[in-house]
Structure 1
Amino acid sequence: MKTKLTIILLFVVNIVSAQMLTRGNEKLDTLCQTKFTAVYQYSIHTSDAEGHPVTDSICLALQVGDGVWKTWTYQRYLFQQQRDEEIGEDHYWFMQNEALMHIATTTIGHPEGKTTTLESIPPFQYEVTEDTEIPTWNMVEGNDSICSYLCQKAKGKFRGKTWNVLYAEDIPTAAGPWKLQGLPGLITYATDDKGIHTFKLIGIYQETSPITYSAGSMVSKFSMEERRMITVVTPYEKATRAQMMKQKKNVFGNRLYLTNPTFYMAGTKEILNIGQKGGNYQFVGGLYIPDKAHKYQPLE
């Protein structure tokens, strides 16, 4: 069995202040420092407006600290780390997948004993704070290997779904991607019983970097005056988990959403169409929306 973390890249970020300032002038609270960051490939099996099967995929970063861990898109993680050479020039493809898959940012352990999730339904972003819930796990015989780590099997129920997972005892943490957690080792693989949602570990950064949080979101807007994308900080709307789930079902689960993702915003003047190399992009309230959507597959 492996006794050390797989190291893709080794670097140290020295943060001594409780706050940091991003290049977009967004003030972020530093919750703690990471012990490592795990990178996952997250995929959803779904269908398009014509009913044809499609698989959407995106990379997620899981930052793991002492009692706090945060799952968000890998591209946003790279942006905060200011690793421009890995982001690339055309980042709109990432925004498209993020919108298609309805990716949220989930922070477990902030505040203590709570889970805070940041959700987007353009033109608003919402902050949902709830009591942290740990899935009920049962160990399963057998093992497998993920990223060269020998992993044990487990099965559990969480938020209406049964999850089949692998976890690596050689990576001592109870963390996992999204809200999956509570096993004696990092969750390296997870798929629901219908095979719709899958998280798979693809690598680990051995690092010290800040796990951050802010009361507002840094969103992209196109400046007609400057003819370029700029970033602004917008306060989050507060919502309960029940309110958020109902609202997402009403919007993303509506049959009209597949062919017209802005159907619920009829009459709004905030939609801005931008032509760029590689395709056309729409923004509403500073948030990206796809021209066409895929069938909504809720995680919970």
Structure 2
Amino acid sequence: MKQNFLFLLSIIPLQVFAQKADNSYECIYEYTVKTTNAENETYTTILQFDDIHARFADYAAFQLDSLMQTGKATEEQLKKAEECVVKTAFYFDQTTFVNASERTITVYSVIPPNLYSYQEATNGIAWQLTDETDTICGYLCNKATGEYGGRIWNAWFSSEIPSSFGPWKLGGLPGLIMYACDTENIHHFKAITFRQGTTPITAPRIPNSIATSREKFIKAKNHFEENPIANIPKESITDMRVEKGDGGSNSIFINGVQVRLRTNGYVPLEIK
């Protein structure tokens, strides 16, 4: 296998918390964003959680992690899973890991050609509960509103699933968040499958990542995505590679890190 980073947190040794999958649960979400070109992009993401830990990531990365954890996958199987991550048209390039006992969220993301991580507290959203209800994925949900990252979020949580977690960084309610959207109707996380855990929950370890603060990362990330190729410092490039894909689509790697070009434009989840 090529030594690409691809933002595959799974290629680094992992720390396992939930030794048995039957002690954990998984909720698959469709994340939809309305882009600057007024196109809707849909990403497939997954939340793994138990009583204390939660990990949210792109579903393709999760599938690769699951294969690697078995220790029984063939080279061909791993290659196909890695290719899936590379070729996924809409890839959610943040992985968040929550440790409820320490009340922290650790975020792992990428600004090519570097990988970054930062940490913040879990109690960053002051939710206001409402009387509104809805049924999502077969579960009765209550509505709450709160502000995070410069956006107002509406979240529907189900007390039938007594967990304080939710998609991405959204959490802190008395039930699993099954659906969330911002009031501008740009970003949507919707649960489509809830199931027993299929693989242990892991905390990523990335020895070569750059530790930073949330504020610095968001500012740098949002600036970078305005024009990715132009915003990569030329002096930082030691290796550049283009891999040809099917249908004329190419994958670009700078220093082994994949650069994902957003043809429909970029609308950040966090604006401050």
TM-score of the aligned structures, taking structure 1 as reference length: 0.74
Query: 1:73 & 1:192 partners in 2: Cα distance?
Result: 20
Return the match for 1:55 from 36, 40, 46.
40
Return the match for 1:97 from 76, 90, 100.
90
1:147 and 2:137 equivalent?
A: yes
What does 1:75-94 correspond to in 2, within 5 Å? 75-82=60-67, 90-94=84-88
| Equivalent pair of 1:38/1:62 in contact (CA under 8 Å) | yes
Q: Which amino acid aligns with 1:26?
A: I
Deviation of 1:137 after TM superposition, in Å, equals 1.4
Return the match for 1:69 from 41, 54, 68.
54
Deviation of 1:63 after TM superposition, in Å, equals 0.6
Query: 2:47 & 2:103 partners in 1: Cα distance?
Result: 18
Q: Which amino acid aligns with 2:172?
A: G
Q: CA RMSD in A?
A: 2.6
Deviation of 1:115 after TM superposition, in Å, equals 1.1
Which is greater in Rg?
1
| Equivalent pair of 1:39/1:203 in contact (CA under 8 Å) | yes
% of aligned pairs identical?
A: 29
| Equivalent pair of 2:57/2:94 in contact (CA under 8 Å) | yes
Indicate how the Cα distance of structure 1 residues 58 and 165 shifts in structure 2: closer, same or farther if over 3 A, else same: same
**5+ residue gaps, structure 1:** 1-21, 217-233
1:31 and 2:17 equivalent?
A: yes
Deviation of 1:236 after TM superposition, in Å, equals 0.9
| Equivalent pair of 1:32/1:66 in contact (CA under 8 Å) | no
1:287 and 2:265 equivalent?
A: no
- Which of structures 1 and 2 has the larger relative contact order (alpha carbons within 8 angstroms, sep 6+)? 2
1:135 and 2:135 equivalent?
A: no
Question: Which residue of the partner structure matches residue 232 of structure 2?
Answer: 265
Compare the two structures and name the one with the higher strand fraction. Answer: 1
Residues 153-186 of structure 1: per-residue CA shift (max 9 Å, x gap)? 2222223211111111111111100111111111
**5+ residue gaps, structure 2:** 1-7, 68-72
Query: 2:125 & 2:50 partners in 1: Cα distance?
Result: 20
Query: 1:111 & 1:238 partners in 2: Cα distance?
Result: 22
Q: Which runs of 4+ in 1 moved over 6 A?
A: none
